[in-house]
Amino acid sequence: MKYKPDDPEVVSLRNEIADFIKNGGTLSRKEREDRFNKLAVELFKIQYNSIENYARYCSKKNATPASVGDYLQIPPMPVSAFKTDDIFIYSKDEIYLTFKTSGTSGSERGNAYFSKSCAELTSLAIVENSKKYLFPDGVNARFFLIAPSPEAMPNLTMAFGITEVMKNTGDLGGKHYLGSEGLKTEELLSDLKKCESEKTPAAIIAPSFAMVAILDKLSEKNVKFNMAPGSRVLDAGGFKGRSREISRPDMVKMIEDRFNIKPEYCVNALGMSELGTQYYDDNIYNAVNGVTAPAAKRNPHWARTLVMKLDGGMNYIAPGTGGASGAFVHFDLSNFDRAVAILTDDLGRYKEGGFEILGRVKEGDLKGCSLTVEELINKSKN
């Protein structure tokens, strides 16, 4: 049974989740846990009833709406399913956005479908989380987005996400510096120079591969900036074997050298086409709040990340039980249209206050964002 976005049951639950995203952080820990569990189980029921192959998959694991009363009992949908099936609670007439999932050149890539109402819910989740972990100090910054616009590349989830952050943060706006012609190097350098001279904080946001490309160009031109206090850098996506790979400490050191932006204001983010929520390192949050701790990726109150044992079952490693690694499972209430629980091929472990990515469970396809950005960057070299 496919739902419609205006079905009363759907509207009611979607509104409850939106309210929880906006206001759930003020609840006590127990109230948050109880509320998260209730909403996750209710969302699972809608998804089970409307995604036929997901229901079949869950039934094989003896998980049905009648038997699931705790979110930990919800079978996570493997990311590979998005390459072979339509994971969507509505008919295809309701598709508003389609983000391409992992895939290398010539290999199969999947589709993550978003209805208009879910795109709005996703925007809310992205913006609310960025307020806490990317802009916890409330700085009004000018945005430098080393990515194409959503209009230029509507299938790229990062283009959507970082543009939503720019549109809903401060009043200085910004630009996209990656287009069909490649990296707009001279325009970027000119605008950075102007931002520097005006002593305006900058928010420089790029896929990890593109950030390395920018740093290399600055090195080639022997250009350095002294960006204003409060400036910050966000990179996302990793390298996936496609770029000149450098260690994160080396990249952060290069950022400090070329932009005069301190390491504590350099944040890495995890985003996936299959998910609505993006996960940020907490180092800016820690710096602003006087917390001394190694950086970790944090879950907002509407999401949970667990580490699943690599034993073929739904067996999770308990948080706080040491540094054992496994595959990440993300439970995300903003994932309204698809599956509230997603099993990834990211290998990781718990870390104080959150989690950290160690690599991939096995060699697999490149992430869609990283490959697409590399293709555009390469155009500027020709």
Task: Please provide the CATH number assigned to the domain covering 119-298+370-379.
Answer: 3.40.50.980
- Please give the mean pLDDT across all residues of the chain: 90
Q: How far is CA 247 from CA 208, 238, 253, in A?
A: 11, 10, 10
Strands 178-179 and 174-176, sheet pairing: unpaired
Confidence (pTM): 0.90
Residue 306 has pLDDT above 90, yes or no: yes
pLDDT tens profile 310-356? 887 889 999 877 788 999 999 999 999 999 999 998 999 999 889 99
User: What tokens appear for 44 in the block?
Assistant: 């699972």
Residue with token string 């206001």? 23
List pLDDT tens digits, range 7-54. Answer: 999 999 999 999 999 999 999 999 999 999 999 999 999 999 999 989
Query: Is residue 103 very low, low, confident or very high in pLDDT (cuts 50, 70, 90)?
Result: low
Which sign, positive or negative, has the C-alpha torsion 55, 61, 66, 71?
Answer: negative
**In the prediction, which pLDDT does 353 show?**
86
Identify whether the C-beta of residue 373 lies closer than 8 Å to the C-beta of residue 177. no
Whose CA is closest to 142, among 186, 201, 205? 201
Give residue-wise pLDDT tens across range 179-232: 888 889 999 999 999 999 999 999 999 988 889 989 999 999 999 999 999 999
CA distances 246 to 17, 219, 241, 378, Å, are 39, 15, 11, 18
> What does the pLDDT look like over 248-285, one tens digit per residue?
899 999 999 999 999 999 999 999 999 999 999 999 99
- Model confidence at 381, pLDDT cuts 50, 70, 90, reads low
CB distance 223 to 213 below 8 Å: no
